[in-house]
């Protein structure tokens, strides 16, 4: 993680235990986890920016006070004041609304985004050392720092798809027919899975982080709900003038048998359906970045690399560019969100179809999640492999790209494979 605090103090003694950091105490905490071992725990107490759907419009507040401008404009204004980084998430529907794309209408009162300004945090480096971070002029006293939580349990979670394989087959075949009619080239079809969980979400997160080792793991308390993200996909990053995205398209199981996994990876890389789908999404991301990039700067330094994860192997590319001078946060988000790998191409036509074809609004699944620094740098994950927890109810989504070569049975099996990140 490239974010740099104003104050950084090493932690020694009993607090520097090998137990993983985790939110422990008041609501509003955030826990960001990377597969490489780095973790960042943020206590509650910072300023909060929220956007909700009133039934007629998106209304944004900062610490309960209404703000001017669109949701992305309000977020940009908040980030530019106070000198704090912000941690949070936004929904797929809000991202579509800001980009002018069709989407299901949320229920009145639905949360569209929530971001918390970070005053202090506990950071565990990849080598295991603990540090206290602060962005305040004077660091808080030792007792105010967050602490590592207790060791995780091993909670179980069972999930049931909201529709069955027959309905999914019909939805896939409809998309294939629309592709043949020329309506679009690829569409990402998603299905919610429902479950019940009676324990501590931090225990569920600990177990899932150990099992899936997600590069973009997070547990966020968003007030109305808790968001558990096990994403492998970088939606958007910025460091100074460099902006980039790392779209994923193409999935095969990982068995743990080295030779079998090597063969599966080679087959994935050569599969005509997967290559066509991946190429179309890379082209879409290139076009998105090109709208806010210096002319001629868009490049693809990594194309169709097969990366292994604990339960799957994915095909990943990197698309990067140099940002236009003076590019603001709101314009950057409008250009790239929602992510091309979870919509399809062209975005408008695909979103218009999916708004009526999927079983429910996606909410925070496929929106954006991560941190935004006070100087404009950011790292946002695409919240795939993501569960929303409300009380004892869990909703976990899985999806896949549909092309004219898609086989409905294979697409259904891919959905079930993707639930293993959270169910084991």
Q: Give the C-alpha separation, 103 to 112, whole Å.
A: 13
Closest CA to 97 of 39, 57, 145: 57
Per-residue confidence (pLDDT) for residue 145, from 0 to 100: 58
Residue 63 makes CB contacts below 8 A (sequence gap 6+) with 47, 48
Average pLDDT, the chain: 90
Q: Do residues 393 and 196 make contact, with C-beta atoms less than 8 angstroms apart?
A: yes
Q: In terms of DSSP bridges, do strands 344-345 and 368-372 run parallel, antiparallel, or are they unpaired?
A: unpaired
30-58 as b/e: b if 16+ CB within 10 A: bbbbbbeeebbbbbbbbbbbbbbbeeeeb
Per-residue confidence (pLDDT) for residue 27, from 0 to 100: 56
Per-residue confidence (pLDDT) for residue 126, from 0 to 100: 83
| pTM of the shown model | 0.94
Q: Give the C-alpha separation, 393 to 375, whole Å.
A: 38
Q: Give the C-alpha separation, 378 to 170, whole Å.
A: 39
Position 380 pLDDT exceeds 80: yes
- Split at pLDDT 50, 70, 90, the class of 404 is very high
Q: Give the C-alpha separation, 358 to 102, whole Å.
A: 13
Position 38 pLDDT exceeds 70: yes
Active site residue 249: yes
Structure tokens at 178: 């629309």
Helix, strand and coil percent figures for the chain, each rounded to 5: 30, 35, 40
Catalytic residue among 93, 246, 249, 358: 249
CA dihedral sign, ordered 259, 262, 264, 270: negative
Higher pLDDT, 17 or 382: 382
What is the SS3 string spanning 21-57? CCCCCCCCCEEEECCCCCEEEECCCCCEEEEEECCCC
Q: Do residues 196 and 394 make contact, with C-beta atoms less than 8 angstroms apart?
A: yes
Active site residue 233: yes
Least confident of 77-91, 102-116, 194-208: 194-208
Homologous superfamily of domain range 7-150+159-423: Anthranilate synthase (3.60.120.10)
Least confident of 22-26, 105-109, 275-279, 287-291: 22-26
Q: Do residues 226 and 220 make contact, with C-beta atoms less than 8 angstroms apart?
A: yes
Structure tokens at 102: 């069709």
Summarize pLDDT for 295-316 with one digit per residue, the tens: 999 999 999 999 998 888 999 9
Q: Do residues 365 and 386 make contact, with C-beta atoms less than 8 angstroms apart?
A: yes
How many CB atoms sit inside 10 A of residue 267's CB? 12
Summarize pLDDT for 237-274 with one digit per residue, the tens: 999 999 999 999 999 999 889 999 999 999 999 999 99
Least confident of 17-21, 171-175, 219-223: 17-21
- Split at pLDDT 50, 70, 90, the class of 44 is confident
What is the DSSP code (8-state) at residue 293? B
Torsion of CA 417, 419, 422, 424, to 10 degrees: -40
Q: Give the C-alpha separation, 23 to 16, whole Å.
A: 15
Per-residue confidence (pLDDT) for residue 3, from 0 to 100: 80
Residue 70 makes CB contacts below 8 A (sequence gap 6+) with 58, 60, 98, 330
Per-residue confidence (pLDDT) for residue 17, from 0 to 100: 46
Summarize pLDDT for 48-57 with one digit per residue, the tens: 999 999 999 9
Catalytic residue among 98, 131, 233, 411: 233
Domain definitions of the chain by residue range: 7-150+159-423
Structure tokens at 208: 């899932």
Element holding 408 (H helix, E strand)? helix 408-418
Q: Give the C-alpha separation, 122 to 137, whole Å.
A: 17
Position 135 pLDDT exceeds 80: yes
Closest CA to 93 of 83, 85, 103: 103
């Amino acid at each position: 993680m490239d974010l740099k605090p104003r104050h950084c103090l090493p932690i020694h003694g009993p607090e520097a235990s090998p137990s993983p950091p985790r939110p422990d105490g008041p609501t509003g905490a955030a826990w960001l986890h990377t597969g490489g071992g780095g973790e960042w725990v943020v206590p509650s107490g910072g300023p909060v920016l929220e956007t909700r759907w009133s039934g007629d419009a998106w209304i944004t507040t900062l610490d309960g006070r209404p703000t001017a401008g669109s949701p992305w404009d309000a977020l940009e204004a908040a980030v530019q004041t106070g000198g704090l980084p912000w941690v949070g998430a936004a929904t797929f529907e809000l991202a579509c609304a800001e980009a002018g794309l069709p989407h299901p209408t949320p229920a009145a009162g639905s949360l569209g985004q929530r971001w918390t300004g970070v005053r202090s945090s506990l950071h565990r480096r990849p080598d295991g050392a603990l540090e206290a971070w602060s962005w305040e002029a004077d660091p808080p006293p030792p007792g105010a720092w967050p602490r590592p939580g207790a060791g995780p349990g091993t909670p179980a979670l069972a999930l049931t798809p909201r529709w069955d394989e027959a309905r999914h087959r019909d939805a896939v075949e409809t998309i294939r027919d629309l592709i043949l009619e020329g309506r679009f080239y690829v569409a990402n079809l998603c299905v919610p899975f429902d479950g019940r969980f009676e324990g501590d979400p931090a225990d569920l997160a600990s177990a899932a982080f150990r099992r899936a080792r997600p590069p973009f793991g997070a547990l966020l308390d968003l007030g109305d709900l808790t968001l558990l993200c096990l994403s492998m996909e970088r939606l958007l990053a910025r460091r100074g003038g460099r902006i980039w995205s790392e779209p994923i398209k193409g999935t095969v199981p990982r068995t743990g048998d080295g030779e079998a996994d090597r063969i599966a990876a080679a087959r994935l890389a050569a599969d005509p359906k997967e290559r066509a789908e991946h190429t179309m999404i890379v082209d879409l991301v290139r076009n998105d970045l090109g709208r806010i990039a210096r002319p001629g700067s868009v490049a693809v330094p990594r194309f169709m690399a097969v990366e292994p994860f604990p339960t799957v192997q994915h095909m990943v590319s990197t698309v990067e560019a140099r940002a236009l001078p003076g590019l603001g946060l709101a314009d950057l988000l409008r250009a790239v969100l929602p992510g091309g790998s979870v919509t399809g191409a062209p975005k408008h036509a695909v979103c218009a179809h999916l708004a009526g074809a999927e079983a429910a609004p996606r909410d925070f699944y496929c929106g954006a999640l991560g941190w935004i620094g006070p100087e404009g740098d950011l790292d946002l994950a695409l919240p795939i492999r993501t569960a929303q927890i409300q009380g004892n109810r869990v909703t976990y989504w899985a999806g896949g790209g549909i092309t004219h070569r898609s086989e409905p049975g294979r697409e259904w099996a891919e959905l079930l494979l993707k639930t293993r990140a959270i169910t084991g």
